[in-house]
A and B are shown apart, each in its own frame.
Chain A
Amino acid sequence: MTTETTQNGNGRSTLLDVRGLVKYFPIKRGFFRRTVGTVKAVDDVSFDIQAGETLSLVGESGCGKSTTARSIIRAYEPTAGEILFNTEEGDTIDLAQLSLIEMRPIRRQMQMIFQDPFSSLNPRMNIYEIISEPLLVHGIGTSSEREDRVAELLRLVRLRPEYMRRYPHAFSGGQRQRIGIARALALNPRLILADEPVSGLDVSVQAQVINLMMDLQDSLGLTYLFVSHDLSVVKQISNRVVVMYVGRIAEIGTPEELFDSPKHPYTAALMSSVPKPHPSQRTKRYVLEGEVANPANPPTGCYFHPRCPFATDQCKVEVPPLVKSKDGRYVSCHRADEIELTTE
């Protein structure tokens, strides 16, 4: 374990540094459950999260966004790679190497918010039991202290503490999601992994929950890893965005960079698919041909080459590395500097 804290230009320190994260799921068939193949859900993913920022992971369904988040918090066992987490105490710990028991104290600093507010709360526990469970598991406080803390958390997520003894079925989707947020905040974590926290909600409620999350970030100094496929939400809230395609990173940049001057053809196609509210804002559409690659049987070379209008022979054989370009952005495309992409 090293005790270095990397400082970067904007004065923030690195909270989490993911290096070469890989998660393969074996496909098992037949009577003897032989492994007949692997689904390469996450394949060599590297990015870092600065303390206090919101980093979004975007991409289509099945591109490994959620798997990445769940591997970081060790809900799944990563197949390979390093997950370097800078703890409150100033140590850098590789979470991928920890046993589940060694992982327990780290979990206090890292919590998760789930997509489906209906399946993420135990229907047979009341709100007090749900929100106080992390405290109970980590042996924090007496039961009256926990009750005070739950009341405080409920007020924080703008729910009435009197609702503490009710069961989840008595709440609406948005309220349930706020209960999930309160549970995630119970241990005062530094990093929140939000796995599509608003995808299951109505649009009007989405805004409410997003605003709440942003307010909480300001007041509690939280860092978010925000997994989403809703690009308009991502554009609004993130400091940086990681675009994923079939388990790999296509591009990393600020939302403005990615929306206005994408460097990866996939980013361009993705960004141009966001509906524009006004006709005069309508711009060039990059429409992709074909289907998303199968992560159990991905194409050779660049995973995107069968659908890429700019693909060359090199793209068919060589996997493009994720390189830092001159202006500090990360792109994995052989032709990033040659092709002109614009969404204007």
Chain B
Amino acid sequence: MNTTSQIQSADGAPKVVSTDYVWYSPLDWWRFLRRWPVIPVSILVLVALGAIFANQISPHEPDKGNLRARDIPPLWFEGSSTEYPLGTNNLGQDMLVRVLEGARVSLVVASVAVLFGLFVGTLTGMLAGYFGGLLDEILMRLVDLWSSLPLLMIAIIWAVSIQPSLWSVTLLLSIFSWSAGTRNIRGEILSLKGRDFVIAARTMGASDFRILWRHLFPQIVHIVIVVTTLRTGALIVAESGLSFLGVGLPASVPSWGLLITQGRAFLTTTNWWMSIVPGLFLFFTVMSLNFLGDWLRDRLDPRLRQID
């Protein structure tokens, strides 16, 4: 595009100013990166794709070790091998395929738990805030009770009483993830339901369902989305924490937390990458989710939407 515009310069003569870009300056790239969550989304997409195509990316099996290829460090370190770009562990298992397999586990557990928790939390929060009264009282006391339950202790009892599996851990985290959402959303609904547009909807004869769905839910959807992204990060960390302590996933399921645990013994001696590699994956994924959540919050607010 070749746009030119005439601007009257100081001496009165028309001055032709070209407004088409020759090339993006570094500043433009900086602005672009600040405006769009390119880096967090790229990281999340890469991790997700890696999790999906783990078996295609690496020729190795996650739990089959090659004892002749033990303790190989990641690329660019002395003694590294291109066959094992992220190195191998003390049993000669490929770290790349294990970390990607771990991504699959961690992401599935966290997303299922977050979606469940958010669904229940949003629903209970909206109902408690909107209808108030006895329902509010019952739900909020339940939330109080729930938030005072010690996750770790229950997880330990849970782990010794039933055989831990992928789904048992997901269920445990789901059960624990709803109460924070309820409280946030109830508070927001309380402040919104007295606003004039809600009263306007009521005086025009709109049903409670319509008010909740068309008027109140759209006002809190940004909170729901932000909480989702932030909670996903928190739950990935929680699941890893449980697995790290040995009360989470069984050792046969290589989640990030388990991988970090397995490397713990070698952290100060030889195979430091056994913990650091899954640790970095965890860090960048959670960080990206936090950045994305932050960006979404700004983006979903119509008042902020048009601000560059």
Q: Chain A interface (Cβ within 8 Å of chain B)?
A: 70, 73-75, 103-104, 107-108, 111-112, 114-116, 119-125, 133-134, 137-138, 167, 169, 180, 183, 187
Q: Of B196, B205, B218, which contacts A137 at CB under 8 A?
A: B205
Q: Is B197 part of the binding interface, using a Cβ–Cβ cutoff of 8 Å? A: yes
Would B196 and A115 count as touching, CB distance under 8 A?
yes
B302 within 8 A of A: yes
CA distance A111 to B203 in the complex (A): 7
A residues near B303, Cβ cutoff 8 Å: 123, 169
CA distance A138 to B214 in the complex (A): 15
| A124 and B203 contact, CB distance less than 8 A | no
Is the CB of B35 closer than 8 A to any CB of chain A?
no
Q: How far is the CB of B171 from chain A (nearest CB, A)?
A: 34
Chain A residue numbers with a CB within 8 Å of B196 are: 114-116, 119-120
**How distant is the Cα of A121 from the Cα of B197 in the complex, in angstroms?**
5
Which chain B residues lie closer than 8 Å to A70 at the CB level?
A: 199
Task: Say how far A225's CB is from chain B's closest CB, in angstroms.
Answer: 13
User: Contact at B199–A122, with CB atoms within 8 Å?
Assistant: no
Q: In this complex, what residue of B is CB-closest to A167?
A: B302
> B197 near A73 (CB under 8 angstroms)?
no
Contact for B200 among A104, A112, A169, CB less than 8 A: A112
Which residues in B have their C-beta under 8 angstroms from that of A108? 205
Which residues from B are CB-within-8-Å of A138?
204-205
Q: Is B195 at the interface (CB under 8 A from chain A)? A: yes
In the complex with contacts A122-B197, A122-B218, A124-B219, A103-B202 CB distance below 8 A: no
Nearest B residue to A121 via CB reads B197
Q: Which B179-227 residues have C-beta < 8 A from chain A? A: 195-197, 199-207, 210, 214-215, 218-219
Complex alpha-carbon distance, A108 and B202, angstroms? 12
Give bound CA distance, A116 to B215, whole Å: 17
Is the CB–CB distance between B197 and A120 below 8 Å? Answer: yes
Kindly report which residue of chain A lies nearest to residue B208, judged by CB atoms: A100
Cα A54 to Cα B202 in complex, Å, equals 24
Tell me whether chain A's interface is mostly helix, strand or loop, or mixed. loop
Q: Is the CB of B197 within 8 A of A119?
A: yes
Contacts of A133 in B (CB 8 A): 201, 204, 206, 214
Contact, CB under 8 Å: B302 / A124: yes
Residues in B lying within 8 Å of A, measured CB to CB: 195-197, 199-207, 210, 214-215, 218-219, 302-303
A22 CA / B214 CA spacing, docked (Å): 32
* Structural contact, A107 and B205, CB atoms closer than 8 A: yes
Residues in B neighbouring A183, C-beta threshold 8 A: 200, 204
Q: A70-B199, A122-B214, A134-B205 are in contact. List 19 more A-B contacts (CB 8 A).
A: A75-B199, A112-B199, A112-B203, A114-B200, A120-B196, A122-B197, A122-B201, A122-B215, A122-B218, A123-B219, A123-B302, A123-B303, A124-B218, A133-B206, A137-B210, A169-B302, A169-B303, A183-B204, A187-B204
A121 / chain B contacts, CB cutoff of 8 Å: 197
Tell whether, in the assembled complex, residue B219 and residue A75 are in contact, meaning their CB atoms are under 8 Å apart: no
Distance between Cα atoms of A111 and B206 in the complex (Å) = 13
Q: Write the nearest CB–CB distance from B198 to chain A, whole angstroms.
A: 8
Q: How far is the CA of A122 from the CA of B219 in the complex (A)?
A: 9
Contact of A75 with B197 at beta-carbon distance under 8 Å, contacts A124-B219, A167-B302 already known: no
- Chain A residues with CB under 8 A of B199: 70, 75, 112, 114
Residue in A116, A137, A169 whose beta carbon sits within 8 Å of that of B204 in the complex? A137
Give the distance to chain B from A181, nearest Cβ to Cβ, in Å: 12
In the bound complex, do residue A103 and residue B205 qualify as a contact, i.e. CB atoms below 8 Å apart? yes
Q: Is the CB of B219 within 8 A of A120?
A: no
Give the one of B201, B219, B302, B303 with max A CB within 10 A: B302
Chain A nearest CB from B215 CB (Å) reads 6
The residue of chain A having its C-beta at the shortest distance from the C-beta of B200 within the complex is A120
Chain A residues closer than 8 Å to B202, beta-carbon distance: 75
Q: How far is the CB of B22 from chain A (nearest CB, A)?
A: 34
